[in-house]
Amino acid sequence: MLILAATPIGNLGDASPRVREALANANIIVAEDTRTTKHLLNALGVTTNAKLIALHEHNEVAKAADIVRLAQDSDVVMVSDAGMPGISDPGYVVVRTAHEFGVAVTVIPGPSAAIAALAASGLPTDRFAFEGFIPRKGQSKYFASLAREPRTLIFYESPHRLTDTLVAARDSFGPDRLATVVRELSKIYEEIVRGTLAELAEKFAGENRGEIVLLVAGAEVVVMSLEDAVSDVVARVASGERLKEASRAVADATGIPGRDLYSAALTRSRDA
């Protein structure tokens, strides 16, 4: 059987009795970094005769079938350096392969930074989208593509990029959008700061440290008919806004394509 096991993301006290037992009884432990997992086993006081096999993002595809074959005959416990394997960590390819080979898969639930941060964020938890790590390049374009997403967005981010990321997020999602920076969960310097993106960009300007989850509230969706949206554009133009800007603003709020609003508003003013 393939057993996915979540390990602590900071506080060793979060290692469940089940995960300790699974590690102690495993025939094979597949680890993202075998040294990190050996440290964890020592710190937890878990003694095991299990063979440790390294599985990282660069060899996951090549090793997946071998690992799954081992899991056909014995218990293979898969862990990452911290948190839930497969969540911005190696694991998915092995799990997919196990399903394809008909090998049983189970999971020992436990810490995952994304879910813990969401629960503590003070942002809506009913619907959310996990985006993993933010791309290093083209952040503004990337955020702009998410600006109308109505679900709470969850990102992993490095502390060194947090300042620039918050500025790009503020500019793409707007300064008033609510967000939360969650830092060092379950560790000594745990910090959970909720505010507008403008406030957070200011607060976290400069050097930052630790492990970080950034959460951004989803967009408020305004449901409007095309006719009403065009009236909104026309009213904005009448009060001095340029047609292009007015169309874009209403498009952002409603999801109706800006070019449709632009041409419909133009036709309506011509016909008036």
Give least dist CB 16 to ligand SAM, A: 14
Give the one residue of 48, 72, 88, 269 binding ligand SAM; rule: CB under 6 A.
88
182 touches ligand SAM by CB under 6 A: yes
Q: Please, are residues 41 and 34 in contact by the beta-carbon 8 Å criterion? A: no
Alpha-carbon distance values, 51 to 73, 78, 229 (Å):
14, 12, 64
Cα dist. 7→11, 66, 117, 122, 184 in Å?
Answer: 10, 23, 16, 25, 15
**Strand pairing partners for 191?**
183
Q: Is 211 in the site for ligand SAM (CB under 6 A)?
A: yes
Q: Considering beta carbons, is residue 92 or 257 the nearer one to ligand SAM?
A: 92
Q: Which residue is nearest to ligand SAM (CB)?
A: 83
Contact between 94 and ligand SAM per CB under 6 A: no
Taking CB under 6 A as the rule, which mask of x and - marks residues 111-140 in contact with ligand SAM? -xxx--------------------------
Tokens of 95: 């799990």
Q: Would you tell me how many other CB atoms lie within 10 Å of the CB of residue 124? A: 15
**Helix segments in 26-91, DSSP class H:** 34-44, 60-73
Q: Is 16 in the site for ligand SAM (CB under 6 A)?
A: no
CA distance readout (Å), 161 to 36, 133, 169, 196, 225: 25, 11, 12, 18, 40
156 DSSP β-pair partners: 133, 213
Going residue by residue from 58 to 87, which x/- string records binding to ligand SAM, judged by CB under 6 A? ----------------------x-xxx--x
**What's the min distance (Å) between Cβ of 133 and ligand SAM?**
7
Give the residue, chosen from 31, 95, 162, 185, that forms a contact with ligand SAM under the rule CB under 6 A. Answer: 185
Nearest residue to 243 via CA among 234, 255, 253:
234
Cβ count within 10 A of residue 141: 11
Residues contacting ligand SAM: total by CB under 6 A? 23
Binding part of the chain for ligand SAM, among 55-63, 109-117, 172-180, 200-208 by CB under 6 A, reads 109-117
Cα 158 to Cα 39, 79, 107, 134, 193, distances in angstroms: 23, 22, 28, 9, 16
Which residue among 16, 25, 186, 263 contacts ligand SAM (CB under 6 A)?
Answer: 186
Residue with smaller CB distance to ligand SAM, 133 or 242? 133
Q: Are 58 and 90 in contact (CB under 8 A)?
A: no
232 binds ligand SAM, rule: CB under 6 A: no
Nearest approach in angstroms of CB 46 to ligand SAM is 20
Determine which residue in the list 128, 143, 156, 204 makes contact with ligand SAM, applying CB under 6 A: 156
In the complex, least distance from residue 112 CB atom to ligand SAM, rounded to whole angstroms: 3
Query: Would you tell me which residues interact with ligand SAM (CB under 6 A)?
Result: 9-10, 80, 82-84, 87-89, 112-114, 156-157, 182-187, 211-213
